[in-house]
Structure 1
Amino acid sequence: MKATAVELAFADRYSLAALKTSEVLALSIDQLKRLAERLANDILLFNQQACSSPRSIFWIGGTEDEICSARARFWQALEDAASRFPNPPHAVIARITDAFLLAASGGVSDIYCRLNSFPLRGFGNRITDPERRLHGGNGFLTEYSLDHLAQLASRLCARDQTLVAFGFMSEELVALTRQLPGRAVDRIVGPGEALNFDPVWDGMDLFAVLTREIRINKPVQL
């Protein structure tokens, strides 16, 4: 490298979504459709290969029955929205393979849909390191449920890049950032914004890093 060169490394990252159960249940049919279309873009526009495309969804709050109801209406809407995206045979095989690998590693405990569902989804108890390494995208999502958004902080790690959040107040999201461990999560965005590029990426201000600044101090007075 030249003495004046600058090197930036963008490592493989993992991204997630957090949905407030009560807010999903409160959506009208049209609102739910728009939410599903936005999330489908986030997840499937590049076949879930982008680092910022969510691969796991956390349901926050609600009783067991409420979560089941929210999941049922959400997944139907997301499947409808996903129908406009390509679903080639190799992607079907890849996500089924990933689902079985994650089930064997403990990342997924149940698969609540047909194996040819698009997206395919599996439910787990806790997000694991093997899941982050093994999950290859291709239209596969893992689901988890938590009582409170604050509990999400302890589930995250430095590999996690983007959190797509829906249904939360700004104050709740700020409170979450104060509890994050280390470098966990560099972006919190709304549905439909996961793939939007920003000059601040992976926690780095690219304008600051990639531009040269000459600093001139005040003249010394003798």
Structure 2
Amino acid sequence: MLKSGGVVIPMRLNTDRSRIVYDKLNFIFPLNADLDKLGLIPSVKPFDDGICRLLSILSKALLNNPESKKYSDIAAFAFWCRKGNIELMKKERVLDLRLGRGVVLHIAPSNVPVNFAYSMVAGLLAGNINIIRLPTKSFEQVNIICDTLISVLEMEEFEKYRDFVTLVKYDKDDEINQYLSSICDVRIIWGGDNTIWELRKVPLKPRAFDITFADRYSISVIDSEKYRMEENPKKVAQDFYNDTYLFDQNACTSPHFIVWVGQERTIGDAKEMFWSELYKIVKSQYKLQPVQAVDKLATFYTAAANMDIIEAEMPDNLIIRAKLNKLSEGIEEYRCQGGYFYEYSAESLEEIIPIINQKYQTLSYYGFDKQVFKSFIGSGLKGFDRIVPIGKTLDFSLYWDGYDLISTLSRIIDIL
């Protein structure tokens, strides 16, 4: 359970509107939050020494917490915000004369437990005061991270930074959204397209702006000859499993479509190896829910009515493979979770360019040299903001969805 116990304690209210809103908010930290005064707190420079130390202590505390070790996503987050990685991210940047923009409101997605923590850290590293709306669904990962973060913030050396983090929970509520939007300088919205459309109806301050992370679609490309010659095909399949099944393909980075590149004979051999290895992993590590099995079949039949596809043979429906006989625009509209994949055989990467649109976020790959993608990008792609090796799709970066988060969340001060 969260240390706060989810207690709602309205404090020091300045307006009638904030009083009404406070009564609806579930403050996790701090319990005596005064949101009206957050705008008066000075921002700090990106990669502020105190913030970096706070995150380093948080990383150590999470890595040493026995409860954290039960969850790979917590371990990944803790490893990402360790001291060495933060120093590396800082060295990669020319920070010039920058300060955080002020108050950043983070609307976290409901289906990825640890996403709120990455968003918060980006806001902190950019030098901002942060209000984080936590997922309304109950996730033990959220409880563990919040409890650990609160214990670190309560240390005496971090007293200065306690107001830099406000953790809240609340149900969908126009009044709350209007109030929080009125006091923020940046609003970060992680969620579906409908969530973004609804929140965009809520006005911001004249100089404030939105950063939106909408519904996206991701794919994998595999060099069939390289995979056919791979000495450890099981590892590649395990990496792919981690990219997809750990979040039931709910993450925008999770691939739904595999493009096999090469000659027909080598593609056939590579497919047989890959799906055999992946099936063994899924069968031993994943539990398919009955509703997912139904959803996958329904998705296939819907897609088959609109695209030229056939179902490839598998032992059961732990994995459903829909083979595309020809590329179809709008394939991203027929997606499903729980192990549902489209696949297509191509002689070159360039074959898929016509169907790529702005919905496409992450391209994960195996067997390709980076130089190949430089020319691929130069062909005028309409989509893809990330190109990463298979097994790395869930790795968070301060460059996300085409945004440089530190630059976007901070302002540069020009001195002539």
Equivalent position amino acid for 2:359 in 1: R
Alignment of 1:28-67 (within 5 A): 28=231, 31-62=232-263, 64-67=264-267
Q: Return closer, same or farther for 1:167/1:114 CA change in 2, 3 Å cut-off.
A: closer
Question: Residue 82 of structure 1: SS of its match in structure 2?
Answer: helix
Q: Which of 224, 235, 260 is the matching residue for 1:21?
A: 224
Indicate if the aligned counterparts of 1:156 and 1:180 stay in contact, CA closer than 8 A.
no
2:260 pairs with 1:71: no
Q: Which of 114, 117, 136 is the matching residue for 2:336?
A: 136
Higher RCO (C-alpha 8 Å, min separation 6): 1
Alignment of 1:1-222 (within 5 A): 1-28=204-231, 31-62=232-263, 64-83=264-283, 84-106=285-307, 108-114=308-314, 116-182=316-382, 184-216=383-415, 218=416
In the comparison of the two structures, how many residue pairs are matched?
212
- For 1:127 and 1:133, the matched residues in 2 are separated by 13
Indicate if the aligned counterparts of 2:256 and 2:340 stay in contact, CA closer than 8 A.
yes
Indicate if the aligned counterparts of 1:126 and 1:155 stay in contact, CA closer than 8 A.
no
Question: Residue 185 of structure 1: SS of its match in structure 2?
Answer: coil
- For 2:325 and 2:402, the matched residues in 1 are separated by 29
Indicate if the aligned counterparts of 2:323 and 2:344 stay in contact, CA closer than 8 A.
yes
- For 1:115 and 1:131, the matched residues in 2 are separated by 25
Deviation string for 1:80-112 (max 9, x for gaps)? 122312311111111111111111111x52111
Equivalent position amino acid for 2:221 in 1: A
Indicate if the aligned counterparts of 1:6 and 1:210 stay in contact, CA closer than 8 A.
no
Q: Percent identity?
A: 28
Indicate if the aligned counterparts of 2:324 and 2:343 stay in contact, CA closer than 8 A.
yes
Deviation string for 1:151-206 (max 9, x for gaps)? 23233111111000110112111111111333x11110001111111111110111
Kindly state the Cα deviation for residue 115 of structure 1 after the two structures are TM-superposed.
7.9
Indicate if the aligned counterparts of 2:327 and 2:352 stay in contact, CA closer than 8 A.
no
- For 2:380 and 2:325, the matched residues in 1 are separated by 20
Question: Residue 176 of structure 1: SS of its match in structure 2?
Answer: helix
* CA-atom RMSD in angstroms: 1.6
Equivalent position amino acid for 1:198 in 2: S
Deviation string for 1:114-158 (max 9, x for gaps)? 483322111003343442112122210000011012323233111
Deviation string for 1:16-60 (max 9, x for gaps)? 0000010110012xx101000000011111100111100000000
- For 1:210 and 1:70, the matched residues in 2 are separated by 44
Indicate if the aligned counterparts of 1:57 and 1:143 stay in contact, CA closer than 8 A.
yes
Question: Residue 110 of structure 1: SS of its match in structure 2?
Answer: strand
Equivalent position amino acid for 2:208 in 1: A
More displaced 10-residue stretch of structure 1: 205-214 or 123-132: 123-132
Indicate if the aligned counterparts of 2:330 and 2:355 stay in contact, CA closer than 8 A.
no
- For 1:170 and 1:155, the matched residues in 2 are separated by 22
- Mind listing any 5+ residue stretches in structure 1 that lack a counterpart? none
Higher radius of gyration, 1 or 2 = 2
Normalising by the residue count of structure 2, what TM-score does the alignment of the two structures yield?
0.49
Equivalent position amino acid for 2:206 in 1: A
- Mind listing any 5+ residue stretches in structure 2 that lack a counterpart? 1-203
Q: Return closer, same or farther for 1:115/1:89 CA change in 2, 3 Å cut-off.
A: farther
Kindly state the Cα deviation for residue 113 of structure 1 after the two structures are TM-superposed.
2.0
Equivalent position amino acid for 1:23 in 2: K
